[in-house]
Amino acid sequence: MLTLILASTIRELENLFLPTFRNCTHLKTLKKIHALIVKFSLSQSNFLVTKMVDVCDKTGQVEYASLLFQQVVQGNVFLYNAIIKAYANNSRYSLALILYKQMVSQISEDEKNPMLPNKFTFPFVVKSCAGLLCVSLGRQVHAHVWKFGTKSHSITDNALMDMYMKCGSLEYAHKLFEEMRERDLVSWNGLLSGYARLGQMRKARELFEEMPDKSIVSWTVLISGYVGIGCYSEALEIFREMQMLDIEPDEVSVISVLPACAQLGVLEIGKWIHIYSDKNGLSRSTGVCNALIEMYAKCGCIDPALQLFEKMMERDVVSWSTMIGGLANHGKAHEAIELFRDMQRTRIEPNGITFLGLLSACIHAGFWNEGLKYFDSMRKDYHLEPEVEHYGCLVDLLGRSGRLDQALEIVKKMPMKPDSKIWGSLLNSCRIHCNVEIAIVAMEHLLEIEPDDIGNYVLLSNVYAEVGMWEGVSKIRKLIRSKSMKKTPGCSLIEVNNVVEEFVSGDDTKPCSKDLFSMLELLVSHQNVTNKDMIGIASEDCSESIPSS
């Protein structure tokens, strides 16, 4: 009887603490609640400790959650689930799996054990396997899902499918999808996202067409997938289809489609997205503003990009880096460098992209000394290790400035293997400054990396031509002919009525090709007539100004 009274009293005391957890959002408050729990001798209450661990999970206080868990002598399945969830949600994946192993080790084969993992355990254990990209552990956990009888739970199935996708095991993910008894929208979107993330857009598109229902997430996944593999026209096609079906873009879909507008130079669609974002409050998002700034800059409209940047309420490192890079690419080197100084004053730490923009600005302006200073500053001031792209910028900067020996020395001392872009940049600088010796060195490396790129042969031929080494020019031309190499035809893009048209040199397969060529001939003839008129006027002016003999 006394035991029942005590149990009843404990439950009542535990319930008294429940309201305090609802408003607990800080560690300081949680510690006060914990102190009261200890005072009432309830520190071993699995119920209350689980609630405190949940608070730690939401506030990111994983270390305190770990201390709470360790002081409980005999935890139950709910407490184990809570601590595993806290570890998984805060990227402590290894600790989550260690706790799961400890939990499973307590299961007795002789009798029913309350520590059996359940449908609330597995999603976070699987998430931890995905976080570590360990498919072998994931498969073992998948076997446990079947062993402990929770195989029909859709949340666990979706987590398993996501794990297989992130680990690159498409076959297992698709097989699991086919075997699922109930497929919800999360299941379809999960598989779609996996295919898109791995660049398998043909399969992603087929799956998208099969989907019984589609959400804005489905459309956005398809758009971002196409952008990820450089199929920008297809991304815009999906976006237009969305509009035709009256599906309103959200923040993520806007951020996903804007890079396609930037790459294709589709300014009108980009402007429409800007107006739509302003109207629907999406422009308050820093991510949307960053994407719009990049779009305007890449479409050649640096002033609207700068105006948008200046109006932003909050700017992150992406905002500053995008604007600095945009100014640099528009030849506004002084403005880019000044903006970086403003960034330093705001105490926002620059990243590798920021320095790429700065080095690009120095290249456009020929500021080789400043470029070296910023390159050194990456390591000394910000502890950033330069990537191959930064070395490429530095080599290009020194090469264009005529410091070819210094550029070659940097290439030789690079901590990573130089790629074709770096050797190509050095070869181009040799053409500008007529340096045959270093051009041959660069060409030797380019022949190893990309032996069939005709552009490199043409560059070396131009170097020989600049210094009058016609024997070398002839040798290169013979080599090109012997390899039967052809130059990739040039192409251009134009936007008409929100549709992007691509024109390739020598391509006469378009339906309106005859009309286009007729118009071009008319324009050329008109230009020739105009030039003759201008020459005649110039001749008359000259005859009047020069006295006759």
DSSP string, 197-253: HTT-HHHHHHHHHH-SS--HHHHHHHHHHHHHTT-HHHHHHHHHHHHHTTPPP-HHH
Q: What is the mean pLDDT of the chain?
A: 85
Residues 6+ apart with CB under 8 A from 499: none
Residue 502 DSSP symbol: E
Token output for 221? 């996944």
Token output for 272? 């429409």
Residue 495's pLDDT is what?
57
Confidence of residue 468 (pLDDT cuts 50, 70, 90): confident
Confidence of residue 456 (pLDDT cuts 50, 70, 90): confident
Residue 504's pLDDT is what?
66
Residue 251's pLDDT is what?
95
In this structure, the number of other CB atoms found within 10 A of the CB of residue 248 comes to 10
CA 327/CA 303 separation, integer angstroms: 9
Mean pLDDT of 200-217: 94
Q: Which amino acid is at 333?
A: A
CA 285/CA 304 separation, integer angstroms: 17
- Assess whether pLDDT exceeds 60 at residue 5: no
Asked if 368 contacts 403 with a C-beta cutoff of 8 angstroms, the reply is yes
Dihedral sign from CA coordinates of 73, 76, 77, 81: negative
pTM beyond cutoff 0.85:
no
Residue 119 burial class via C-beta count within 10 angstroms: exposed 0-12, middle 13-18, buried 19 and up: middle
Residues 6+ apart with CB under 8 A from 168: 135, 198
Tens digits of residue pLDDT in 327-366 = 999 999 999 999 999 999 999 999 999 999 999 999 988 8
Confidence of residue 315 (pLDDT cuts 50, 70, 90): very high
- Assess whether pLDDT exceeds 70 at residue 8: no
CA 160/CA 164 separation, integer angstroms: 6
Mean pLDDT of 397-403: 92
CA 340/CA 354 separation, integer angstroms: 8
Residue 35's pLDDT is what?
87
CA 263/CA 540 separation, integer angstroms: 48
In this structure, the number of other CB atoms found within 10 A of the CB of residue 19 comes to 9
CA 331/CA 494 separation, integer angstroms: 23
Distance of CA 122 to the CA centre of its chain: 30
Q: What is the largest CA-CA distance in the chain?
A: 136
Residue 10's pLDDT is what?
67
> Which residue has 């993520």 as its token pair?
252
Residue 545's pLDDT is what?
34
Distance of CA 368 to the CA centre of its chain: 30
Can you give the C-alpha Rg of the chain in angstroms?
32
Confidence of residue 540 (pLDDT cuts 50, 70, 90): very low
Lowest mean pLDDT among 19-33, 70-84, 213-227, 364-378: 19-33
Confidence of residue 151 (pLDDT cuts 50, 70, 90): low
Mean pLDDT of 235-264: 94
Residue 541's pLDDT is what?
43
Residue 137 burial class via C-beta count within 10 angstroms: exposed 0-12, middle 13-18, buried 19 and up: buried
CA 100/CA 495 separation, integer angstroms: 57
CA 220/CA 242 separation, integer angstroms: 10
Confidence of residue 231 (pLDDT cuts 50, 70, 90): very high
- Assess whether pLDDT exceeds 60 at residue 18: yes
Tens digits of residue pLDDT in 423-440 = 889 888 888 888 888 888
Confidence of residue 391 (pLDDT cuts 50, 70, 90): very high
Lowest mean pLDDT among 222-236, 323-337, 343-357, 453-467: 453-467
Return the closest-CA partner of residue 430 out of 421, 442, 448: 442
Asked if 207 contacts 192 with a C-beta cutoff of 8 angstroms, the reply is yes
Residue 162 burial class via C-beta count within 10 angstroms: exposed 0-12, middle 13-18, buried 19 and up: buried
Mean pLDDT of 142-146: 89
- Assess whether pLDDT exceeds 60 at residue 538: no
Residue 520's pLDDT is what?
74
Asked if 521 contacts 514 with a C-beta cutoff of 8 angstroms, the reply is no
Token output for 283? 């422009």
Mean pLDDT of 317-326: 97
For the ranges 19-23, 64-68, 340-344, 427-431, the one whose mean pLDDT is highest? 340-344
Q: How far apart are the first and last CA of the chain?
A: 136
Asked if 381 contacts 355 with a C-beta cutoff of 8 angstroms, the reply is no
Tens digits of residue pLDDT in 87-139 = 999 999 999 999 999 988 887 654 555 678 888 899 999 999 999 999 999 99
Residue 205's pLDDT is what?
95
Residues 6+ apart with CB under 8 A from 32: none
- Return the percentage of the chain with pLDDT > 90, whole number: 51
